[in-house]
A = this chain, B = another copy of it.
Amino acid sequence: MRVLLTGGTGFVGLPVAHRVLRAGCELLAIVRPGRDTRVLRDLGVTVLSQDMQDSEALTQVLGSAEPDLCLHLAWYVVPGRYPSALDNLDSVAASAGLLRALSRTSCRRLVFVGSSAEYAPSDDCLTEQSAIEPRTLYTACKTAVALMTTQVAARCGWTAATARVFNIYGPREPESRLVPSVISSLLAGRQVQLTSGAQVRDFLHVEDVADALWTVATSELTGGVNIASGTPTTVGAVATEIACQLGRADLLQFGAVPTRSSDAASVCAGRGRLHEELRWMPRFDLGSGLSHTIDWWKREIRERTSAGSSQS
């Protein structure tokens, strides 16, 4: 099977690339010109360097690619800025260009990656039946592309799913995010200022997210599919687990930072279609997943330090 991937250099995209290659598939990745693609090339991925907003040029590039399946992950994801950034509009335009170009290929299945934040706020666990109600530019644009994807698929005779991903952590996560910032602070012996930590969330290790996305991609599921562990936890429990594994619970300062009003009290997932219909199980639980992530950061920091020393 020939698989086309967008966003393959990203936090989730690279583990997806690994997962697709482990399945023995041929992998092509559309990457924006200027991105560093060595890691993909080294894995044996065919890199197609092309701006997706230029649908005509993309059609040319995909002309000989003839993918069977497309995993569309590419999106504007700068931490802190992405919820209201106008760059989300470019991600919609790029998605429109991709859909248009794909319509002229042999592609027969598409999985688009959406977000749990597309759902209306709810104190109950979310399922695929929960109401979609985008409240930010990011989520409006994600829902926009999900709507477009569904109808292009109907028009072109594809099947399509929108995978709505909940909280993700793991190697290569941007350092300003919760898990890496707690890990790196505690490893450096710095205190960590946190909110109350009471926010309920669903955390999944990025390699499990990649495996879940591949499971959806190779299934026949259509429509919305939540990508989550199905086991609610709290932000506080995640920070505490990291601190306990590092023996530095003394450095956590819960309540030092006010919880933002835009931060929902609960965004958790029930056992959704991934579990019930595809019988998928994550490889990592929170403890083993955070342990794996801590080990990765320890190696990363060592490598950075030695790179720094060898340069000096």
Chain A contacts to B: CB under 8 angstroms? 53, 55, 84, 86, 89-90, 92-93, 96-97, 99-100, 103, 134-137, 139-141, 143-145, 147-148, 150-152, 154-155
Whether A53 touches B147, Cβ cut-off 8 Å, given contacts A100-B86, A103-B86, A152-B137, is: no
Whether A152 touches B93, Cβ cut-off 8 Å, given contacts A53-B53, A134-B147, A147-B134, is: no
Chain B residues with Cβ under 8 A from A136's Cβ?
151
Distance (Å) between the CB of A17 and the closest chain B CB? 26
Assess the B140–A151 pair: CB atoms within 8 A: yes
Offer 26 A-B interface pairs, CB within 8 angstroms, sorted by A: A53-B53, A55-B89, A55-B93, A84-B151, A86-B103, A86-B152, A86-B155, A89-B99, A90-B96, A92-B93, A92-B96, A92-B144, A92-B148, A93-B93, A93-B96, A96-B96, A134-B147, A135-B151, A137-B148, A137-B154, A140-B147, A140-B150, A140-B151, A141-B151, A143-B144, A144-B145
Whether A148 touches B89, Cβ cut-off 8 Å, given contacts A53-B53, A84-B155, A155-B84, is: yes
Interface of A is mostly: helix
Distance (Å) between the CB of A8 and the closest chain B CB? 22
Known: A89-B148, A90-B96, A93-B97. 7 other contacts (CB 8 A): A55-B89, A93-B96, A137-B151, A137-B155, A143-B144, A143-B147, A144-B147
Inter-chain CA distance A144–B151, complex, in Å, is: 12
Distance (Å) between the CB of A259 and the closest chain B CB? 22
Interface centre among A96, A97, A134, A139 (most CB of B within 10 A): A96
Distance (Å) between the CB of A55 and the closest chain B CB? 8
Inter-chain CA distance A159–B209, complex, in Å, is: 38
Chain B residues with Cβ under 8 A from A53's Cβ?
53, 93
Chain B residues with Cβ under 8 A from A143's Cβ?
144, 147
